[in-house]
Amino acid sequence: MQPKLAAKAVCSNGEIGKVSKVIMDPISHEVSHVVVQENARQKLDRAIPIGEVQEIVSEEEIVLKCSVSEFVQFPLLNRDHYVTTHEVEIAHLEDNIHVTPGEVLVPLPCLERDVPRRTFFNNMTHAIGALIALPLAFPVLKYLMKPMYKPFDNAWFSVGNEKKITKENIGFQFKFTRGFKEAFMPEQQIEKNIWIVRATPEVKKEVYSGKDRKFYDNKGDLLWVNKANSPLIGFSGKCPHLGCGYKWRRTKSNPDGVFICPCHLSLYDESGKVIDGPAPRGLDILPLEVNAAGEIRIIDVEYKAGVKDQIRLL
Partner 1 sequence: MNNQPPTTNEPNALEKVVDFVDERVGLKTLQAKMLNEPVPGGSRWAYAFGSVLLFIFILQVVTGILLMFYYVPSTDHAYDSTQYIIHEVEYGWFLLSYHFWGSSAMVVMVFAHMSQVFLWGAYKKPRELIWLVGLALFGIVMAFGFTGYLLPWDQRAYWATVVGVEIMDKTPLIGDFMARFLKGGPTPGQMTLSRFFVIHVMVLPAGLMALAGLHIFLFRKAGPAGPFRGTSAELKAKTDYFFPRQIWKDIVAMASVFLIICSLAFIEPVVLLEQATPDPGDYHPEPEWYFLFLFQLLRLKMFGGEFGQFLGAIAIPGAFMGLLAALPFIDTNPERNIFKRPASLVSWIVIMVGILLFTVSAILNREFLH
Name the residues that contact partner 1, by CB under 8 A.
91, 144-145, 147-150, 175, 180, 182-183, 185-186, 188, 190-193, 237-238, 241-245, 262-266, 276-280, 302, 304-308, 313-314
Q: Minimal distance in Å, beta carbon 150 to partner 1?
A: 6
Q: Minimal distance in Å, beta carbon 192 to partner 1?
A: 5
Nearest residue (CB) to partner 1, 51 versus 186: 186
Strand ranges (DSSP E) for the chain?
8-11, 14-24, 31-38, 45-49, 53-58, 61-64, 82-84, 103-107, 156-161, 171-180, 188-198, 213-216, 222-226, 232-236, 247-249, 258-260, 267-268, 274-276, 288-290, 295-299
Q: Minimal distance in Å, beta carbon 213 to partner 1?
A: 22
Q: Minimal distance in Å, beta carbon 277 to partner 1?
A: 6
**CA dist., res. 205 & res. 211, Å (int):** 9
Q: Minimal distance in Å, beta carbon 307 to partner 1?
A: 5
Geometric angle at alpha carbon 163, from 158 and 169, rounded to 5°: 100
How would you label 107-125 residue by residue, b for 16+ Cβ within 10 Å and e otherwise? Answer: bbeeeeeeeeeeeeeeeee
**CA dist., res. 302 & res. 311, Å (int):** 8
Give 81-147 as a DSSP string.
GEEEGGGS--TTGGGG----SSEEEEEPPGGGTT-TTHHHHHHHHHHHHHHHHHHHHHHHHHHHHTT
User: Which helix (H) or strand (E) is 207 found in, with range?
Assistant: helix 201-208
Nearest residue (CB) to partner 1, 57 versus 314: 314
Nearest residue (CB) to partner 1, 49 versus 278: 278
Nearest residue (CB) to partner 1, 124 versus 190: 190
Nearest residue (CB) to partner 1, 102 versus 277: 277
**CA dist., res. 28 & res. 164, Å (int):** 96
Q: Minimal distance in Å, beta carbon 99 to partner 1?
A: 20
Nearest residue (CB) to partner 1, 172 versus 180: 180
Nearest CA to 273 among 187, 171, 180, 145?
A: 171
Nearest residue (CB) to partner 1, 74 versus 180: 180
Nearest residue (CB) to partner 1, 41 versus 146: 146
**CA dist., res. 159 & res. 239, Å (int):** 19
Q: Minimal distance in Å, beta carbon 238 to partner 1?
A: 8
Nearest residue (CB) to partner 1, 81 versus 247: 247
Q: Minimal distance in Å, beta carbon 53 to partner 1?
A: 32
Q: What radius of gyration do the chain's Cα atoms show?
A: 44
Count other Cβ atoms within 10 Å, centred on residue 175: 11
Q: Minimal distance in Å, beta carbon 27 to partner 1?
A: 18
